[in-house]
Every structure is written in structure tokens, then in C-alpha cells.
Structure 1
Amino acid sequence: MAHDGQHCSFVLVADFDIDKGAQLTYQFPQPLGMDEGLLANLMLPDGAERQPADWTVFFLNQTPFNTIKPVLSWDNEDGGEAVEEDARMLYVINLVRTKLDKTARRGAIVKAMAICTRYPFVQIFKPVLLLALDDYFMNPSQDCLARLFDAVNAMDLSSMPTLSRYEKLIMRSTERQDVFIGRYDDFSALNDPGTATQQTAPLPPAVRPGHKSSNSGDSRVSYEDSLHRARKDPGRNGPESYKSASQMRSPTTPSEASFSLDGSAVWVGDESGLDQMGFVATAASASTTSIASAAQTRGRRSTDASSSSSHGAYGRLGENAPSLTGAATAALKDSHFFHTAINYNEHLLPVKVPLSTFPEEVGEGSLTMLCTTFSPTITTMSGPMHPHLHTNGSLTPPVIVLFNALVTGKRIIFLGHHKLAENVSNHVLAACALGSGCGVVLKGFIKRAFPYATLINREEWENIPGYIAGVTNPIFEAAGSWDLLCDIGTNRLVVHKDIYSSHPASWTPSSNQLIMRTGTLKAESSVGSEEEAVRVQTKEGGPAQKPESAGRPDSADNVFIDDILAAIASHYSEAHVRAKFAEYALRFVRVASRYEEDLLGSTTIGYPSTTYTERPGEKPRLGSGAFFTDDTACTKELAINAGRIEAWRRTECYRLYQADWKRSLARNPIQGFDLAHQLSRLRYAKSISDGEAELIFRTLAECLHSYDQVTELLSWLPPHLHGLQPLSFGLFHQQEVVRDLAVDLFNELRAYPIGVQFLQALNHFQRYAYVRQAHARELRLKDPNTLAIPQSAYMSRTPSNRSESSLGGG
């Protein structure tokens, strides 16, 4: 995101007049040139006079009716990835307060103040808005607006690092507080403004209070894991295979003292202590004193995992790496945020700017809150079942019904009668994050979202296709201009009784027959699948009620939501929940790509579906496309998803993803093969031939030549999917060439601080295998007559009894 230009574009003030109603009092520094009555009513929500304080969020330059007239200089957001119309969006955070005053006609004064900004993380302006509105109550003049405007725009973001897409994906998936610390030009940027840095040793990596760390030992499963768990795959390893390093003890051996396997360092060197190659440790896991001491006593070269410059090639160790003095002597803060301050009226307000936000993530919408509000145990669902919405019949979880409604472009209303407008707004913003895969996968939801909507311009926003609106007035439920009603006050999900009139379940013979690679197979339908929804036409051709269907309690969607709710109950972080939903949305898109290919013969949203081929006289070729454990699983998953895929392909969201996919093919650092498919093969395949294993590891090792390529690879290996574990399988392969390629791959990762952090998350057995083989490799390079370490020397130490003739996570 570009940081030049104004942080605050406009400041607005509205007052409630008992005779005239909501009035827009001030617009600073100039009028917006749009309907002032609309702005005033958005800033003063229904029932504001009954609440001491409330917040609303709304957008400008979103549609023709809320486009402002002044021509501003807009920076292209997200490094040029955002489309032009999205870059013009203005996000508005508004505070309304009611103060009791006996001199007022109704005993209270209601005023509101709003900041219009081009940053989606509008929540950072809440503290300064609180002070500014108090100031305005005491002195209601335009000077208050000018002070606020100047203070916000004086906020210093000049040294704020700009992360690439893949750096953002890595940052949001880890709770390590020192991730990408080297992206800061000045380590003092991590300190609270004006705070003296007297601490001589860095703080250990902290986990948010009350939350579990999402590390490589995370016991939660991914969405693809849930697919296999739902099928009760007997070949899948149990959770005991994924214990974190802190939960496992390294085997006691005479050479144990030669290695640091305590979770804080990756040691590579001669286990006899005669030859030293080097070690890597992070400033967050050992003090500068202990690092220097270890380097001195062991005679090893030490390199800090977080030492790096802020340039594109900064990450390679030894290349212009800055000194650790600043980091080691500073009280380190969470590097997920840029720490700055707003100096308002002699009050220095600390500000934490999130660095991994995508444009579809606005404000403080929480998926944890959304899943809790519409948990299957407390949510009542009513109305007809529809193939676009109910992918598992009547047992479709409420959150999945909402996700289906979002991606298929249904009109959605969040109703909060007698609720704060802030509560309603946050649910709408959370729904946008849900549908977009937290901004990582899909786009177009914020463009049609109205976090707080009013009766004033009802006809205009109701004409937006697939709107997502938050309201507090129950008159909207009675009006019926919606397809799905989400009542946050009573935990209801209501599908409109006339949804078939608005969205017919139009099925063609081609969409009812999935053309598979093995021939023309009719899609197997589970109870509650889309095939039953075909029979919704009456003899006259009109819509009719779909027969009641029980659904399957063990479907992948149900297992996935059960896992999400279990994670929430165990106090897993919001970042963990978001990572799971991003993966869910990505899986939906990859399955849609396969569906599109089977239906039309080609796809415009993904790689073609192929399998690994190895023919005599021909060069072997890696597979690509969505991964399925077998043809039966593929057929069932396509049938279950067919209804919502068909509807999604007719939406603007689909067309935006088409354009994004085309751009990614040209821009991705790793080119020429489907990286996600290869990692899925390593994670979930029941067996992989020696030839495919060698080609996968050779291709990965040969493609890693730059920092950008490393970050792209690591972005597909998040902690909640056990990090580098799929690649570590290569260390235990029966063929030496595969083991050597795995060592080459890890050596390349080890050259970058972010790669070191991922290596540190491996368990003891995986790191021990890497250390032994890397050391043996060094000895062979020095003395070609040196024998390689026998495979039995480390295979007996592995936590898995996987057959030597196979390689995979299944």
C-alpha cells in the first residue's frame, strides 16, 4: 500500500436537531458534493439518542449515489493489484455520542464525528476520534475539525514497510511477534513513540493472552483434512504425528550436545564438534549475550534470523544484513503492526497499523464473532432449501449457508433490532471477510456492502445486485427485498419464501452430467445434494418446494465448521480462524476450476487437471489442478458443490477472480507448474512413486533462486497446515537423490531469516534428519570418499512408520 498522500481525506460533523432531524454541520476541508441528508443519517443511526455512544462504518465512492465530487489524488493500493475502482474507495469511521443536558429540549445532545480515509483499517482512528468529539462538545467549532485533520495527516508512516502479497500471507498465518522484523529500516519503529529503550535483552516471542499458538504442532485440521476425515481415511496420520517441538524430547544420544534441538535454533555442523558449519538463532529466542557466548564457546558463526534489510533481496543472510544492536537493545513490539502515534492536542496516542490487511478486510469484523452468533447449536433456520445455499440439505451449517449466499450473489440483510449499529456493521464486515476468504481469494464484496444502511436511500442500495446490508429497523424484514435474512438479535437465518422466483435453480443436461476424465459419469449425489434440487419445477414450469432432505452429518462442511467451533472454544486466535476460512474459499475455487473443466473442456480460473505422467522416451510431467484422493471422492465433491459453483460463475465476483488468475499467472515469482498441487500431493496422497517424488523435489529446489520465490513457497506452508512438514517427508525417502534434493531445498530456505523461522518450527525428528544429512553432505563435498549416512541411522528416529516405498501425508 502506498503511504504518501493524506491519511485523512475529510472530517465530518453531524448534529441531531429536534425539529429538523439529522443535520450535517461541517465538512472539512471542503464539501463532499453529495447528499448531505444521506451523510447525516449514516452518521446518526436510528436510536442513537438511546445509546451513550455508538460507531458506524460506511463507504464513499462505492456506487453512483455515494460518489463524492472533489477530485482527489488516489494511490493504487496493494502494489498495483487492486482494480482502479476499488482504489478510489473511501472508508468512513464514525462516532456518535449522546450527552445528557438538562438545558436541552429533550434532555440530551447528540453529535457525531467521522474520519474519511483510504485505509481499510479504520479502527486505528478510534482513540483520536474519541478525544476530538469530546473536544467538539466543549467547543463546537470548525477549529476542532482542523486540529483533527492536521493531527491525523501528521501521523508518520514514512518508515512503514510495504509487504508483498506473499509476505502478507506469511505474516497473517503466524503468531511469531518477530516475523519479518527485518522489513523495518529502523528497529526503533517497533517501540512505542517516545519510549526509552533500556532493555538489553529481547523479549521472547509472546502468544496473545488466552490464545493458543498456531504453530506446526497445531492439532486443528485444515479444510482438505476435513475432507479426508469425513471419509474416515484409515491411511491418515493421527494428531500425535504433529506434536510441536516443545511437546517432544529429542532422543538421548552421545552426540546430542552437538545440536540445539530445543525449538530455538537450527544447528548444522559436525556432530563430533570438530567441524563447524554455522548456526541460526532468532533475537526473539535467545539474548545477544547467550548468542555471542554460544558462538564463542562452540566456535560457530551465528546469524540472527531476523537480521535483514528492507529491500527486495534483504532476506538472504550475509547480504547487507544490518546489526542486531537495535533489535537486541529495544523492547520489541509485535512486528505484525507498524507502531506510530498521533499527536492530537498535546496527547500522544499510540497507533498500531496492521501490515497484512487486504482491501476486502475493513474495520473490526470478526469471524470468531460471526461463527459464534450463527453457531448450529443456537441458530434457527427457516425457509425453503435452495441448491445454491444448502449444499448439505437441512444439515448445512448456518455459516456455510451464509458463505454460499455471499459467493452466489444473493441479497443479504443483517438485522439487529435494538442492537448497536456498531454490532450490525461488524457483522456485515465479517461477512465480507467470510465470502472473500479474508480478502486473500475473492473480491467484490466490499463494493456491494453497506455496513449500516438507512431508509433514506433504500431504493438505491437495494438496487445493487447482491447487496450486503446492515440495518437496525425491523421494517426491512417485512419489506422482503432480500434473499437471506440474518437476525443477530434472535440468531435466526431466514431464506426468503420466494427465492426460487428470484433465483431459479436452472439446470441443464450438461450441468447434471459431469464429464469426467474416465468417461461420462453421472455425479453421485449424497443426501441433500444438488441433484435433488433439480426436481423443483411444477408441471406448469413454475418453482415448487424442494423435498425435505436430512443431509449428512459427516459431510466435509460440517466437519469443517465443527473444527472451527472447537478452535474458538479452545480460545484459538482470530488469525487462526481467518486462515481456515481463507483455505476453505481457496478450496472452493479450485474445485470450481475442476468443475468448469469437466463441464466445458477447459477452465479460466485454474490450472488444467492432469496427473503425473512418466512414459518411456518422454520427459516426466508433474500433475496440476485440484487434488482429490481418488475419482470417487472427486465425483462426490463436484456434485455437492455443483449448485453454488453454477451460481458463482454468473456473478461479478467470478469475473474479478478470472482477471486475478490471469494476472497471477504472469506475475507469480514461481512459474511453470502448479505449486499448490504438488504440496497437496505431499500432504494427502496415499502413495507417491519414486519418480514423482524426485521430480517434485527437484522442481522445487531448482525454482528457488530469489527471496520472492521463497516467500511464495512459504506462503503455501502456513503453521496451521504444519509448516514445512510436507517437505520434510523428503528427508526420509528411500532414495538418496530425493533426500539430497530435500536438503538442497532446506539449505536454500535457511539462507533467509523467514526460512529459518520456518525451519525452527520443525519437530525434533525432522530437524535431526536435516542436520545429519546436511552435515554428511558437507563431508562428502570435502572428501568424496566419505560414505553417506545410512538411511537406517535416522529412519529409526522418525515419528512415522510410513512405508519406505511411498512418500506422502496420507
Structure 2
Amino acid sequence: MSGDAQHCSFVLLADFDIDRGAQLTYQFPQPLGTDEGLLANLMLPDGAERQAEDWTIFFLNQTPFNTIAPVLALEDSHEVYVEGPDEENRPELLYVLNLVRTKLDKTVRRGAIVKAMAICTRHSFIEIFKPVLLMALDDYFSDPSQDCLARLFDAVNSMDISMAPILTRYEKLIMRTSERKDVFIEKFEDLGRPHVSDASASQNHAHKTNDSVGSHSSFEEGILIRMEKDRGKESDKKGPASSTTSLHPSTQSTQYSPSDASFSLDGSAVWVDSGADQTFGYPGTSVGSNGAGGSSRSESLRGRKSTDASSSSSHNYRGDRSGAITPSANAAGPVLKDTHFFPATIDYNDHQLPIRLPLSTFPEEVGDYSLIQLVQTFSTPSTIITGPQHPHLHTSGNQTHPIIILFNALVTGKRIIFLGHHRPAGQVSSYVLSACALGSGCGIVLRGFIKRAFPYANLTNREEWESIPAYIAGVTNPIFESSGSWDLLCDIGSSRMVISKDILITYPVSTGPPPAQLVIRTGTLKAEGSIGSEEEMTVRPSRDLNPVQKAEFVGKADTADNIFMEDVISAISLHYGEAHVRARFMEYAARFVKLAARYEEDVLGMVTTIGYPSETYTEYGERERLGGGICFIDEAAGARELAANTSRIEAWRRTEGYQLFQHDFNKLRSSNPIQGVDVTHQLWRLRHSKRMPDGEVELIIRTLAENIETYDQVTELLSLLPPHHQGLQPLSFGLFHQQEVIRDLTVDIFNELRSYPVGVQFLQALNHFQRYSYVRQAHARESRLLKDQNTLTIPPSLTSRTPSNRSESSLGGG
């Protein structure tokens, strides 16, 4: 994030006049060059006078009718919002956060004063500006002048976020699924020290290691004490310098396992437990001498570098006995409590307003939306779905879950309206933003939803936004329900969904014969799944359907979509957080596009350009080839899932979203740190496959070991091993394989992960049994390497007396 970027592009002020209606009073620092009546009506929503306070969100530079043209051309109109086949000279999207407030006043004709103030920004995380906007509108009520707008404009643009870390795509994915409040703490090093102008220095310090004191549980302490017994005399003979072994592979010609010192009681990277209540000072804070282990222990560690708790755990920052953090002379700023957010301040009217800047958002995520709220609203017993059924929407027949219907409508380009009669406009807006996140996989998988979303829409510009294909709009006026210019209406007040009665006319269902490839490859399984039985109910639309389409309409409670929704609803009922729910829908959207890639290969017989080719592990004599593409538990389940999704896949392939994803996937595939292998496929095989050939296991582990030699490759791998899928557990299975080569390759992978703080955190999440196995095998191999080295310099008659031999035998006896 650039510190000199203009956070606030414009500040707007609108008020309601009883004679003239909504009026745009001020535009600062200059006129936007668009319809002032449109802006005023968006800022003053219908029914605003019934709400003491309301928030609305809308966008500018989104369509021709709301594209701005500043008189002084301060805005960079040549900047492109997103890349893609349809994006040519599109100005950057502006997000508008608007606050409208009603104050009762008997001295005015209407009995109340209604005013609204809005901030136009390029940042999609617009929720961070709510506190300062509240204060600014209060000031304007007290002193209605343009000076209030100028003070707000200057205050927001003076916010300094130049030190905020810029995360890569895969770092964001790791952060989103991690509940640790110290994830990527090493990236905040610059906050506690003067700015380094040397580019090379700033590049090298990003993953630098620090000296620190680790901690461990009593269980781990017992294991490590056993190792210490046979190493005590050895350390006295060798001296302190002998335990200083560099772990980073870039500094060695051969990647060594962690040294004895790395597994000592003085602070093991693997044995550090994550604290429940974590508060961090900035890097550079001094370590208290009265922490666990005392000052003598701290002194013994200063001679070596370690990527343990020093850069990835709260134990790096120990304070005095009262728990206070002792900052060093160059430490600055407040205490960092959660690395998911960058702490900043906005100085407005001598008030220091704390701002928490989210670091892991994607462009399709706008505002503080809630998928939990969306799911709960349309998953109640009172939820009713009315209207005809359509194969684009009803992928599980009459038992298709309402949220799945909404997802299908989003990805297949249907016109969607969220109606909130007598509801605040801000509440309706949040449902629209949540729907955009739902369809896009929280901005990670698909895109193109925000540019056709209208979080708050009204009658003023109805013709314009209704002319946008596949719009997603939020309205409060019930007149839109009777207009009939929508395909799916979601009433947030009554939790009902209404499908347009003309949807089968607007989107005709193909009655032609199924593709020959589908009959050849999946015809038997498809026929088996469509045989009429007492457990199935065939839904008949207004026209006759052929048997293939009837199979697509089969409503079964145990379809993949319904099982997924049951899992999500169960997680919400068990109080899993918003981050977990977002991760699940991201995976759902990702699986949908992988299924579409398989459909293109199996049904259309084409080389897919939206996914890795579908292949299985094969052996050609001495040559082996890993598989790729989407995986299924068995072929029958895959055929049924493919058949059920045929209609919505075909509909998605005709949308602009398909072209955008095709562009994004090819760009991402060519720029991924790990090249030439479908890592997701390999990890799925390790998680779910039964009776895998030893050759495939070895090739997967070897391929991963050879392809994680850099930090970016490590983060890509870890982003595919989220905590809610047991983190490193699929790889840890290699530690217990019967073949030694697979065990050694797994140790190589873990050693490489241990070279980086984020990898240490993933290793800490392993259970005691897995961690002990890794420590034992890594130490045993370290001992073997030392033994081999000593054999080259020590006479054979003395080999049996080497400390390495004694240490190894003690581990074997453990």
C-alpha cells in the first residue's frame, strides 16, 4: 500500500428540502461531473426520515450513467479497475460510504432535518471510515459549512499506511484462515524502527530471523530432557560454537536437518505452543530477563539464529512480571494486538481515531459483509421458495437449498433483487455485498459481480440499472416486486425467495439430445442415478423434459450441494466464525470451476483452459506422471455430480464471468511460484485416497520437496493446507510411511517450512505425536550426517566413541 495514495477522492454533502426534495449541497474538492440529482437520491434513500441513522453504499465509475468526469481532472481516469477481456479504458471504481442522519427539530416545517455525508474512496474496505464520518457529520450539524468537508478530506488523506505490509495472494489466503493473531508478525518489523531507504536491505529483512527464547509444554519437556541427558557432556567437549548451525537452505549446499541445539530445551521451533491471549510489541522490543528460563538461558541463545517463536509467536515479546511490554528506544506506535489488521490513526479535530486496516481482503469484497447473516436469513423453517423450477437454479431439484439457488443465480448471470421493505437501506446493502462475496468465492475465485452490483437502488435511475445485464440490486420500495424485471427476488424481511414466472421463457431449457460424450462416458451411471424410485421425486416444469434433464431435476436430500449446506449450517450453529464460513464458500466456488473444467473435457471433448487437465497417476516403466484436475471419491459419485451440474455449467460458460475467470486462471497458472504440478490434486490424494501406490506417494512427496525452495513456493503450499483441513496433517503421514525415502523427503519438506516463521506456526499446529516423530527423525538424520562427516576425519577405531553415535542411540532407545 502506498502511503502517498489519496485515500479520499471526494467528500459529498446532501440534504433534503421539503420543496425541492433531495439536493446535493457540496462536492469537495471539486464537482464530480455526474448527475447531481442521482447522487442526492442515492445519499438520501427512501424512508430515511424514519431512521435516526442509516448507512448506504454505492459505486461510481461503474456504468456509463454514473461515471464521473471531474472538471479539473484530478482523478486518473486512465487507470483501469480490473484486467480482463472486456476491460478497456475503464476508470477505476470508486466506493462510496454514505451516512444519513435525521434529527428532530420542531422549528423546521417538516419537523426534522435530514442530511447525508459521503466519502468516495478507492479502498474496498470502506468500513474503516465509519468513525471519522460519524464525527464529521456531527460537526456539520453544529456548523454547516464546507469547512467540515475540507477537514474530513484532509484528515482521511493524512492517514499514514505507508508501513502497512503488502501481502501476496497466497499470504492473504493463509492469513484469512489462520486464527493466530501473530501470523506474519515478521512483516511488521518496520513499524518499530526507522524507515530503511536501502531497497536491498528492506527486501532481505522480510523473512529475517531473530534470537529469542522459546517455550514448551511439560509433555514436550519430558521428551527433550531425554535428548539432553546424552548431549550434556557432548556440549561441554565441543563448546558453545558447535551448536550454531544455520538452517536456511540458501546458505548451504546441502539441506541439513535441524541441529541438536534446535531441539534443545532452550527454545525449539517445533515445540512452542501458541498462547491464547496474544499481545505483541513491535520488533525491536527487549526480552525481559525474568521471563521463562531467566537471563542465563537468554544469553546462551544469542550465538545462534532461529526461526522459532522469535518471529512467529507471542513468546518473542516478553515483558516484566506485570505483563507490560518494554519497548526499545526505536519502538514506536501502539501495541500490535492482531496482525490481521494494520493499526493506523486518523487525526480529526484533535481526536486520534484508531483505524484497523484489514490486510487480507480482495477487490470483490466490499465493506464489512456477513455470509453468516445471509445464510441464517434464508435457512430458516419459514423460508419459502415460490415460482417455477429451472435447471440453471435447481441443481438438486425441489430440495435445492435457497443459498445454492442464490449462488446458481449469481454465477449464471440472472437478475437479482434484494427487497427490504421498511428495512434500513444499509441492511439491504449489506445483503447485496454478501451475495457478491458468495458468488465470487469471497473475491478469491470469480469476479465481475461488484461492477454489476447496486447495493442501494431506487426509482430515480431505475431504467439505467435495470438495463445492466445480470444486475444485483438492493431496494426498499416494494413496487419493484410487481415490476417483473428480475429473475430472482430475495425478500430479507420474510426470508422468502421468488423465482420469476417467466424465467423458463427468458432462459429456455434446451430440449435437444444430450451430448454424445456424456452418453458414452457417463451414460450408465447417469441412467442408474435417474431410475425412478420411492426416494426420488421428479420435478416437472411447464414443458416436457427428456430423461437427461429429468435426471438433473432429481431432488435427493444427500446431494453434494445439500450436504455442503448442512455442514455450513452446522458450523454456524457451533459458533464457528465468519472466517471459517467464508473459507468454506471459497472452496465451494473453486470446486464448481474445477467441475466445469472436467465438464469441458469429458462432455465437450475439448482441452480446458480453466483448470488443470484431468489425469490420473500413471507409470510408464521407469517414468511416472502425477495426476491433476478435480478428484472424486469414486467415479459413480463424480458422474452424478457432473450430471447434476451440467445445466449451470453450460449457463456459466455463456457469461462474462467465465471469460474473466479464464483470463485470471491462465495468468495465475503462468505466474504461480510452483510450476508444472497441480498441488491441490496431490494434497487431495494424500487426504482422501485409500490404498495409494507407494510410487505415487513417493512421487508426490518428492515433487513437493523439490518445488518448495523459495519463500513464495512455501506460502503457496501452506495456503492449500488451511487449519480447518488439519493443516500439515496430510504431509505428516509421510513421517510414518514404511519406506525410508518417503520419511526422509517429508523431513526435508518440514525442514524447509521450518526456515520461515509462517512455516514454524504450521509445524506448531501438529499434534504431539506428529511433532515428536518429526523431531526424532530429523535428529536421527542429523546424527547420521554428523557421523558420516566424522567418518571422513576420525579413524575407524574411534568412530564408535563419537557423541553423535551416543545421541542417536539414545533416540533409538526412546
TM-score, length of structure 1 as denominator length: 0.81
- 2:415 is matched with which residue? 411
Name the structure with the higher helix share: 2
**How do 1:482-501 residues align onto structure 2 when only pairs under 5 Å count?**
482-501=486-505
Moved more, 277-286 or 375-384: 277-286
* 2:741 is the counterpart of 1:741: no
Give 1:182 deviation, angstroms: 1.3
Is 1:305–1:754's contact at 8 Å kept on the other side of the alignment? no
Is 2:262–2:306's contact at 8 Å kept on the other side of the alignment? no
- 1:16 is matched with which residue? 16
User: 1:615 corresponds to which letter in structure 2?
Assistant: Y
Is 1:58–1:92's contact at 8 Å kept on the other side of the alignment? yes
User: 2:350 corresponds to which letter in structure 1?
Assistant: E
Is 2:442–2:585's contact at 8 Å kept on the other side of the alignment? yes
- What runs of 5+ residues in structure 2 fail to find an aligned partner? 195-211, 230-246, 248-256, 279-286, 313-325, 792-803
**How do 1:766-805 residues align onto structure 2 when only pairs under 5 Å count?**
766-784=770-788
User: 2:28 corresponds to which letter in structure 1?
Assistant: F
SS at match of 1:93: strand
Is 1:526–1:552's contact at 8 Å kept on the other side of the alignment? no
User: 1:463 corresponds to which letter in structure 2?
Assistant: S
SS at match of 2:344: strand
CA distance in 2, matches of 1:180, 1:306: 12
User: 1:12 corresponds to which letter in structure 2?
Assistant: L
Q: Please, which of 609, 618, 643 is the counterpart of residue 613 of structure 1?
A: 618
CA distance in 2, matches of 1:591, 1:436: 16
Deviation sequence 1:68-104 (CA, Å, 0-9, x none): 0124237979998996767700000000000011111
* 2:372 is the counterpart of 1:359: no
Deviation sequence 1:320-343 (CA, Å, 0-9, x none): xxx996889973321111111111
Deviation sequence 1:128-186 (CA, Å, 0-9, x none): 11111111111111111111111110111111111111111111111111111111243
Give 1:615 deviation, angstroms: 2.0
- 2:594 is matched with which residue? 590
Q: Please, which of 398, 410, 415 is the counterpart of residue 402 of structure 2?
A: 398
User: 2:113 corresponds to which letter in structure 1?
Assistant: I
CA distance in 1, matches of 2:698, 2:101: 65
Deviation sequence 1:103-125 (CA, Å, 0-9, x none): 11011000000000000000011
Is 1:178–1:306's contact at 8 Å kept on the other side of the alignment? no
Distance change (3 Å), C-alpha of 1:327 and 1:754: farther
Give 1:559 deviation, angstroms: 2.0
Distance change (3 Å), C-alpha of 1:764 and 1:76: farther
User: 1:55 corresponds to which letter in structure 2?
Assistant: W
**How do 1:535-546 residues align onto structure 2 when only pairs under 5 Å count?**
536=541, 538=543
Give 1:674 deviation, angstroms: 0.6
Give 1:509 deviation, angstroms: 3.0
- 1:30 is matched with which residue? 30
Q: Please, which of 465, 475, 479 is the counterpart of residue 475 of structure 1?
A: 479
Give 1:639 deviation, angstroms: 1.0
- 2:5 is matched with which residue? 5
User: 1:777 corresponds to which letter in structure 2?
Assistant: R
* 2:55 is the counterpart of 1:55: yes
Distance change (3 Å), C-alpha of 1:480 and 1:274: closer
**How do 1:691-710 residues align onto structure 2 when only pairs under 5 Å count?**
691-710=695-714
Deviation sequence 1:329-362 (CA, Å, 0-9, x none): 9733211111111111111111111000100000
CA distance in 1, matches of 2:698, 2:806: 19
Distance change (3 Å), C-alpha of 1:526 and 1:715: farther
CA distance in 1, matches of 2:101, 2:400: 41
- 1:224 is matched with which residue? none
CA distance in 2, matches of 1:426, 1:271: 53
Distance change (3 Å), C-alpha of 1:437 and 1:249: farther
CA distance in 2, matches of 1:723, 1:113: 46
Deviation sequence 1:705-755 (CA, Å, 0-9, x none): 111111111111111111111111111111000000000000000000010
User: 1:564 corresponds to which letter in structure 2?
Assistant: V
- 2:609 is matched with which residue? 604
Distance change (3 Å), C-alpha of 1:491 and 1:294: farther
User: 1:73 corresponds to which letter in structure 2?
Assistant: D
User: 2:455 corresponds to which letter in structure 1?
Assistant: P
Q: Please, which of 184, 188, 213 is the counterpart of residue 184 of structure 1?
A: 188
Give 1:290 deviation, angstroms: 2.8
SS at match of 1:629: coil
- 2:65 is matched with which residue? 65
Give 1:282 deviation, angstroms: 6.8
* 2:628 is the counterpart of 1:628: no
- 1:568 is matched with which residue? 572
CA distance in 2, matches of 1:112, 1:103: 20
User: 1:491 corresponds to which letter in structure 2?
Assistant: S
Distance change (3 Å), C-alpha of 1:284 and 1:706: same
How many residues align? The count is: 720
User: 1:137 corresponds to which letter in structure 2?
Assistant: F
CA distance in 2, matches of 1:368, 1:616: 52
User: 2:677 corresponds to which letter in structure 1?
Assistant: F
User: 1:60 corresponds to which letter in structure 2?
Assistant: L
User: 1:132 corresponds to which letter in structure 2?
Assistant: A
- 1:123 is matched with which residue? 127
Question: Larger C-alpha radius of gyration, 1 or 2?
Answer: 2
CA distance in 1, matches of 2:273, 2:767: 20
- What runs of 5+ residues in structure 1 fail to find an aligned partner? 191-201, 206-244, 260-265, 310-322, 798-810
Distance change (3 Å), C-alpha of 1:376 and 1:556: farther
Deviation sequence 1:187-233 (CA, Å, 0-9, x none): 4499xxxxxxxxxxx9x99xxxxxxxxxxxxxxxxxxxxxxxxxxxx
Distance change (3 Å), C-alpha of 1:131 and 1:643: same
SS at match of 2:353: strand
Distance change (3 Å), C-alpha of 1:279 and 1:606: closer
Is 1:385–1:394's contact at 8 Å kept on the other side of the alignment? yes
User: 2:181 corresponds to which letter in structure 1?
Assistant: Q
- 2:436 is matched with which residue? 432
User: 2:356 corresponds to which letter in structure 1?
Assistant: K
- 1:208 is matched with which residue? none
CA distance in 2, matches of 1:536, 1:653: 27
Distance change (3 Å), C-alpha of 1:25 and 1:298: closer
Moved more, 115-124 or 70-79: 70-79
Deviation sequence 1:569-623 (CA, Å, 0-9, x none): 2221111111111111111111111011112222110011000111214x20100
- 1:757 is matched with which residue? 761
Deviation sequence 1:541-570 (CA, Å, 0-9, x none): 99xx98997722222222221221222222
User: 1:148 corresponds to which letter in structure 2?
Assistant: L
SS at match of 1:386: coil
TM-score, length of structure 2 as denominator length: 0.81
SS at match of 2:603: helix
User: 2:775 corresponds to which letter in structure 1?
Assistant: V
User: 1:771 corresponds to which letter in structure 2?
Assistant: V
User: 1:613 corresponds to which letter in structure 2?
Assistant: T
CA distance in 1, matches of 2:2, 2:309: 24
**How do 1:366-381 residues align onto structure 2 when only pairs under 5 Å count?**
366-381=370-385
* 2:121 is the counterpart of 1:134: no
Distance change (3 Å), C-alpha of 1:341 and 1:744: same
- 1:290 is matched with which residue? 292
Deviation sequence 1:384-439 (CA, Å, 0-9, x none): 11111111112111111111111111110000000000100000000000000000
Is 1:269–1:775's contact at 8 Å kept on the other side of the alignment? yes
SS at match of 1:739: helix
CA distance in 2, matches of 1:738, 1:546: 48
Give 1:483 deviation, angstroms: 0.7
CA distance in 2, matches of 1:641, 1:116: 40
CA distance in 1, matches of 2:379, 2:449: 23
- 1:111 is matched with which residue? 115
SS at match of 1:704: coil
Moved more, 552-561 or 18-27: 552-561
- 1:210 is matched with which residue? none
Distance change (3 Å), C-alpha of 1:97 and 1:523: farther
Give 1:376 deviation, angstroms: 4.5
* 2:673 is the counterpart of 1:669: yes
Is 2:394–2:553's contact at 8 Å kept on the other side of the alignment? no
Distance change (3 Å), C-alpha of 1:253 and 1:156: closer
